[in-house]
Structure 1
Amino acid sequence: MLVQIIRIARLNHKLVIVCSGPTTTSRKSHLQKITELVTSIIRETIIISEDMNPIILTAGKYCCDKSFKSSVGKKKRKQFIFRLIEIINAELRKSKFLSSYVSKGDLVLFLGIYQPLSLIIVKLRQGLPIIFGGGFDVTRSVAGNKFLNALYFDFRWVFQITMLKIFSKIILESKSVRDFYNLEKFDKKICYAPLHLPSAFTLTNSLDQRDIDVAFIGVLSKEKGILEFLQSCNILKNNNVGIKITIWGDGILKNEVKQYIEENTLSNLVQLINFVGYSEVPKLLNRIKLVVIPSYSEGLPNRLLEAMACGASVLATPVGGIPNIIKNGETGFLLKSNNPEHMAERITELLNKPELLEKVSITAHNYVIKSFGYEKTLEAWRKILSELNA
């Protein structure tokens, strides 16, 4: 566990940020943005994370003098009862660890809702204001029979709902995120504060300098529409559309994605790559002409805003907060559905209109830079933390 301590004369309180759950590119992005904001507001910030790569933390000094490493989650295939015992044991140890960093008058910002028992214990012991800053998880991750798997899922969800009731404030990026997770019952606790785009996410390459025609970026799971995207790639191949496609991600369907590419001889058209380091993301996005987001459901995806900031046009399904950002034909393009034939048709149409892609990419870039700039988001976070600090 890495602990980052940053001392800046700001609001006269200490903020302890607890990052819960596995590290992904999306989580690194989320943490970096919040870190840049709160270190400009709070006198002292301590970031506690189980497996965070320090490259994403851009300010302050790192120290690992009080390391804590949980073994929970390292072995995925475990029966429910053994995993439950592991979780409880790890959470009891983690609560002791967290207690050594927090004291009366501190604020606690929780990112993620993985194994929250430790924060419940800290809340009951010390009565600190606990803020939820995003990062839900309702996935099923225990192998075995369906009954135990469902029981484990329900067990985690009960904890997550309990935590939402304990939080003093719930900070969400938009109302679409609230609606996506059905959090209307917590409206009195919810505050809206968008996250800014780090300055590294900017437009550096024009359309004719980009060598990747189409990209899928994200978790390789059914709800993200990766299977439909693969089918659209196969249609493009059969239609002899000579383009370069990149699938950039990881997830439970990775082997299925590899198998589909091999069985349908798509390797000359489609390249599958793992997530790169977060610092490399802007460079990759500046190589892409068109990012496709064929999800069945979304909140407000980071990759949407980051792609737009880097001048990659976005073609997406109109779900979650996406229609609030993409105005069809102005700041991006909306799909009617993630039907493979429809996707293939739209991809072909847009790649044959480079002038339109260039125009929309510039408009989208200007829009997100203005709407999600640092100063605007800083003021929203300052207001929320100041109220808790009063």
Structure 2
Amino acid sequence: MNRTSGRKLVIIIGGSLTTSRIAHLGKILEIGEELFSKIIIVHEGHSPLILKYIKIQAICTGVPNIEAKIPLPLRAIGYVIQEFKKCKKILRRVEKKDIVLFLGIYQPISLLSVKLRKCPSIIFGGGFDITRFVTQNKFFNIIYFIFRWSFQINMLKHFDKIILESPSVKDFYNLRKFDKKILYAHLFIPNIFALTVPFNKRDIDLAFMGVLSKEKGIIEFLKSCNILKNKNVAIRVVIWGDGVLKDQVEQYINKNNLSALVQLKNFVDPYDVPKILNKIKLLVIPSYSEGLPNTLLEAMACGTPVLATPVGGIPDLVKEGETGFLLKSNNPEHIAERIIELLNKPDILEKVSINAYNYVRENFSFEKTLESWQRILQEI
């Protein structure tokens, strides 16, 4: 694979390195190794373990990431300090011929510094977080939603290119106005995610795996589990996750006497995820907002049938009854109905298990992903 004629890849990261972002970054670094002779990462705070990698140069601001619990005025001040620190480091190290990839859209001053260097700026849109609810106040949430969405749209106007993981992401987030600058490239699924346990040998009937937050639909999933309990559906349900709603999830389980049906477990080590996915008969992803979720792809790669809402890029992968199953809504009654329907059709679930595994192996290999990234980077 030819490297890009002496150009550097500069990755500018805004915000905390969450589990999802670390997964994205690790894969981008593997791709970047093949295509660039040098990679530089500009990141807030101090260098985390993933950046201590011999083949990349990590440049950190030394200013700790701003915690959400800090008062808003202090967070705003900290945010501005972070941006100016990054700007200074970018202007020192970025050259006109380099390619700059942004992870995190809330970096206006960093983007301005890249513009001053006159090198191409790219935003990797692995899911725009526009549906996050920050308080119980509905009015404030609406105002916050409008502000975030307006800010993101205005930021997208100033990037040279936008990389999306699938065409449905563009439609879901109504980004058609950016057609001329949108390119498509997804990330690969490592070979450790594979179908190793046949469907009929799995012992967890139903599962949820992800961040425990409102936009991920965890409350709706719990309500559907309560409906299953009231209908005397005897199944084993496991929730793996953590997040802002963890206490609320625990309270709901206790209040509704769901502990005999539902187990709540913390996030597991990433290396254990394939083993766990191979124990699950049906994984539910009832999200309100997604890009192309890692959990979905990893589950399909392990032959785990997925029942998901048709948001973000999910409809491009999940074809009803072939590679997975789609929900019509996040309504708990509907989720419960579909769970009962599908768990009573093991033959269809087994067929989908094999189809999903084959689909991911054919379309999300490292080699195929590398080819698509090389193709689009040569256009820039």
Q: TM-score, normalised by structure 2?
A: 0.88
Aligned residues of 1:9 and 1:43 also touching (Cα < 8 A): yes
C-alpha displacement at 1:257, in angstroms? 1.1
Aligned residues of 2:192 and 2:274 also touching (Cα < 8 A): yes
Aligned residues of 1:307 and 1:314 also touching (Cα < 8 A): yes
Find the residue that maps to 2:307 and give its secondary structure: strand
Measured at CA, do residues 40 and 333 of structure 1 come closer, stay the same or move farther in structure 2, by a change above 3 Å?
same
Aligned residues of 1:249 and 1:275 also touching (Cα < 8 A): yes
Measured at CA, do residues 278 and 11 of structure 1 come closer, stay the same or move farther in structure 2, by a change above 3 Å?
farther
Find the residue that maps to 1:187 and give its secondary structure: helix
Match of 1:175 among 162, 167, 180: 167
Q: What is the aligned partner in structure 1 of residue 341 from structure 2?
A: 349
Aligned residues of 2:133 and 2:214 also touching (Cα < 8 A): no
Give the whole-Å Cα distance in 1 for the aligned partners of 2:146 and 2:230: 44
Match of 2:184 among 155, 178, 192: 192
C-alpha displacement at 1:15, in angstroms? 0.3
Asked whether 1:82 is paired with 2:74, we answer yes
C-alpha displacement at 1:13, in angstroms? 0.7
Give the whole-Å Cα distance in 2 for the aligned partners of 1:105 and 1:68: 24
Aligned residues of 1:201 and 1:306 also touching (Cα < 8 A): yes
C-alpha displacement at 1:326, in angstroms? 1.7
Give the whole-Å Cα distance in 2 for the aligned partners of 1:288 and 1:167: 41
Q: What is the aligned partner in structure 2 of residue 39 from structure 1?
A: 33
Give the whole-Å Cα distance in 2 for the aligned partners of 1:27 and 1:150: 26
* More off after superposition, 309-318 vs 337-346: 337-346
Give the whole-Å Cα distance in 2 for the aligned partners of 1:149 and 1:346: 31
Q: Provide, for residues 230-277 of structure 1, a one-character-per-residue CA deviation record: whole Å limited to 9, x for no partner.
A: 111112222332322122223332221111011011122212223233
Ranges in structure 2 where 5+ consecutive residues have no aligned partner: none
Measured at CA, do residues 237 and 156 of structure 1 come closer, stay the same or move farther in structure 2, by a change above 3 Å?
closer
Aligned residues of 2:43 and 2:86 also touching (Cα < 8 A): no
Match of 2:246 among 254, 258, 262: 254
Q: Number of matched residues? A: 377
Q: What is the aligned partner in structure 2 of residue 19 from structure 1?
A: 13
Aligned residues of 2:66 and 2:78 also touching (Cα < 8 A): no
Measured at CA, do residues 86 and 43 of structure 1 come closer, stay the same or move farther in structure 2, by a change above 3 Å?
same
Ranges in structure 1 where 5+ consecutive residues have no aligned partner: 1-7
Give the whole-Å Cα distance in 1 for the aligned partners of 2:33 and 2:251: 45
Give the whole-Å Cα distance in 2 for the aligned partners of 1:146 and 1:86: 27
Q: Percent identity?
A: 58
Match of 1:366 among 358, 362, 366: 358
* More off after superposition, 144-153 vs 129-138: 144-153
Q: Provide, for residues 115-171 of structure 1, a one-character-per-residue CA deviation record: whole Å limited to 9, x for no partner.
A: x13323312431221111124333668779888887776665554334312211111
Q: Provide, for residues 18-47 of structure 1, a one-character-per-residue CA deviation record: whole Å limited to 9, x for no partner.
A: 222223332222222222222211221123
Aligned residues of 2:61 and 2:82 also touching (Cα < 8 A): no
Q: What is the aligned partner in structure 2 of residue 164 from structure 1?
A: 156
Give the whole-Å Cα distance in 1 for the aligned partners of 2:235 and 2:134: 39
Measured at CA, do residues 151 and 289 of structure 1 come closer, stay the same or move farther in structure 2, by a change above 3 Å?
closer
Q: TM-score, normalised by structure 1?
A: 0.86
Q: What is the aligned partner in structure 1 of residue 216 from structure 2?
A: 224
Q: How do 1:129-140 and structure 2 match up within 5 A? A: 129-135=120-126, 136-138=128-130
Find the residue that maps to 1:18 and give its secondary structure: strand
Give the whole-Å Cα distance in 1 for the aligned partners of 2:175 and 2:280: 35
Give the whole-Å Cα distance in 2 for the aligned partners of 1:313 and 1:142: 32
Measured at CA, do residues 363 and 142 of structure 1 come closer, stay the same or move farther in structure 2, by a change above 3 Å?
closer
C-alpha displacement at 1:292, in angstroms? 0.6
Give the whole-Å Cα distance in 2 for the aligned partners of 1:157 and 1:180: 13
Aligned residues of 2:161 and 2:182 also touching (Cα < 8 A): yes
Aligned residues of 1:36 and 1:59 also touching (Cα < 8 A): no
Give the whole-Å Cα distance in 2 for the aligned partners of 1:267 and 1:128: 55
Match of 1:54 among 26, 49, 56: 49
Give the whole-Å Cα distance in 2 for the aligned partners of 1:320 and 1:9: 32
RMSD over equivalenced CA pairs, Å = 2.9
Q: What is the aligned partner in structure 1 of residue 66 from structure 2?
A: 73
Measured at CA, do residues 277 and 372 of structure 1 come closer, stay the same or move farther in structure 2, by a change above 3 Å?
same
Give the whole-Å Cα distance in 2 for the aligned partners of 1:9 and 1:372: 21
Give the whole-Å Cα distance in 2 for the aligned partners of 1:70 and 1:15: 23
Match of 2:108 among 81, 104, 117: 117
Find the residue that maps to 2:329 and give its secondary structure: coil
Q: How do 1:246-285 and structure 2 match up within 5 A? A: 246-285=238-277
Find the residue that maps to 2:93 and give its secondary structure: coil
Aligned residues of 2:39 and 2:55 also touching (Cα < 8 A): no
